[in-house]
Amino acid sequence: MAGGRRSKAGGGRESPPGAERGAGRAPSRPGGEPSPADHAELYRILYAEASDGLFVLGPELRVVDANPSFARKLGLTVDEVIGLHPWDWDAEITTREQALARWPELSRIPETFITRIRRRDGTVFDAEIRTNPVVLGGRPHHFHACRDVSDRRRADEALRAGEARMRGIVASAMDGIVTVDARQRVVQINPAAERMFGRTAAELLGRPLDELIPERLRERHREHVAAFGSTGVTSRAMGALGAITGLRGDGSEFPIEASISQIEVGDEKLYTVILREISERLRAEVQIERQLQRLSALRAIDDAINASLDIRVTLGVVLEQVTVQLGVDAAAVLLYNASLNELEFAAGRGFRRGALSELRLRMGEGFEGRAALERRTVSVPHLPPGGRPATKTEEQAGERFAAFHVVPLVAKGQIKGILAVFHRSALDPDAEWMGFLETLAGQTAISIDGAELFQRLQRSHAELMLAYDATIEGWSAALDLRDKETEGHTLRVTETTVRLARAMGVGDAELVHVRRGALLHDIGKMGVPDQILLKPGPLTEEEWALMRRHPEHAYQLLSPIDFLRPALDIPYCHHEKWDGTGYPRGLAGEQIPLAARIFAVVDVWDALRSDRPYRSGWPQEKVLDFLRQESGQQFDPRAVDAFLRLLAADRPVR
């Protein structure tokens, strides 16, 4: 920046002219009123102490006077400022011509303009210049006030930038934004809201906000907004208006989620309403809910499959879920009978008449038979009104359905039947609906296959059990044939032992093993030599020692056979005694298995009543006396008492 010479006439001093206390000052007027000299001194003080930069330009656009504040703004002293021209510090001009355009030499009108002032160190700041023409010494001058407005301009620019950004955000926002005044009239609307409502800003500005809402809902909406504004809060965070219904320009309605905020601009109260169309979200929520319901339906079918082995119960659950989840009027399942090559009605729901129980279709017959034969879904979504029934199922039921879908039931590559759904009005479902129908059909096929498999397993198990029992009875008969003395004994004691065990509370599952054990109680005698087993006379001690080993032989014969191991109690322990004197292990009391204790009573009772080559059978009363006598010694007292009660109920007994 160029320095300037000091003007003698300019008073360019560090202190203002006349600021020296009392120098050349006229006395004050009587009464204490300031004299003209006092006023001049006051003005000079104000001039010197002002925070704004003050300076005077002469006719040649040269500084003739300046206050310290202006000098400090330039980074100079007052003496250095005197004599400078505007182009010495104005960063936006470099010539006299430019200066004349900006700093009018002869203008008589006060002006204000913004320029950029350059300091001594080369930095610049924004300055607001206020110029006033004055006449000093008969010549025109300009008195200027200079104020640093850099901060204000930066704030203004930031504000403008922020407003621009905000306008950009509002304009590009995906949500609709509508600003209304206190009368709820639209004062601003963004493009997203225009698109949302299908109306332009020109159509909506100045119009009531409730024109964007169906007429039946407007009063409630006005009350809601008014209640929001009645709090007297000048600035408020978003408040939810909740889900409301919007009205497009074409009259169509759509769901909106709205929130509102209240602000005050000056004395004006405004409301900003943010709107989001939630059609897609609601559809997604409905879709999710539907999926959850369908998953629940599949779970219910799974539970039915796991909880019941009766295919009719499972099919009832399946058809209930089919009609409820798919929204159809009726549904039926026809099962495939491979022996007859027919589809037979198994279950139905929703039919007005119950005439379907006798329905049978050949494979390929009707839409149902075709779906099963070709293993593909057959659909007729629209039937002509008043036409003949399209399917054998509805013909048999006497119905007039308007639409139906038939899905084959296939499991492990085998046709199991068909699932048919019917509706009394047109039914043209989407791919998701059809997919769920086919999923239900697949689940149904699995349940049918599982039920059939279980039935086959049950049948096989029953046949195997019959084979086992037949084998055991054959072994028992072979033993009776070998030992003529005990012929018929095994079957008699088996029947009576089972009855006594049941009377003593033995469960059905255990009775199976009791029966088998009783049939095989003498199986160990197969290991006894014939000369001992068939000896007509008394046995020697050595022979009795071999005879008493037959329970051990029974254990050795039967224990390797898994299904007969639970039946070992009687063959192995029926010669044990309550007092511990029995064999082969000398068990006592309740150490002896219950089945063996029960059998021991029946076995001795039947043996003593039967004729043998070496003695005659005892009378009934003598046998019963013996049982009473041995109760608590050879026999379990509880078993003896129960047996006596059983015989008493059966009298007369032979």
pLDDT at residue 199 greater than cutoff 50: yes
Task: Outline where 486-560 has alpha helix (H).
Answer: 489-503, 508-519, 530-533, 541-547, 550-558
Q: What is the pLDDT of residue 26?
A: 47
**92-142: pLDDT as tens digits:** 887 778 877 766 554 567 788 888 999 999 999 999 988 888 888 888 888
**429-474: pLDDT as tens digits:** 888 888 888 888 888 888 888 777 777 777 877 777 777 777 777 7
**Lowest-pLDDT range of 88-92, 248-252, 283-287:** 283-287
Whole-number Å distance between alpha carbons of 128 and 152: 10
Radius of gyration of the chain, Cα coordinates, nearest whole angstrom: 58
Query: What is the residue-averaged pLDDT of the chain?
Result: 81
Selected from 2.60.120.260, 3.30.450.40, 3.65.10.10, 3.90.79.10, the CATH number assigned to the domain covering 303-451 reads 3.30.450.40
Q: What is the pLDDT of residue 11?
A: 40
Helix (H, G, I), strand (E, B) or coil at 526: helix
pLDDT at residue 276 greater than cutoff 90: no
The tokens for 137 are 């010494």
The yes/no answer on whether domain 483-650 falls in CATH 3.20.20.70 is no
Burial degree of 227 (CB within 10 A; 0-12, 13-18, 19+) = exposed
Alpha carbon of 366 to those of 374, 378, 396, 416: distances in Å? 12, 11, 12, 17
Token match 């059983």: residue?
Answer: 646
Whole-number Å distance between alpha carbons of 638 and 351: 61
**302-354: pLDDT as tens digits:** 776 666 667 788 888 888 888 888 888 889 999 999 889 999 988 888 887 66
- CATH domain 173-277 topology: Beta-Lactamase (3.30.450)
pLDDT at residue 575 greater than cutoff 90: yes
Residue type, 409: L
Q: What is the pLDDT of residue 79?
A: 93
Q: What percent of the chain has pLDDT over 70?
A: 84
Q: What is the architecture, at CATH level 2, of domain 30-154?
A: 2-Layer Sandwich (3.30)
Same topology, domains 30-154 and 303-451? Answer is: yes
The tokens for 553 are 């032989």
**Domain ranges for the chain:** 30-154, 173-277, 303-451, 483-650
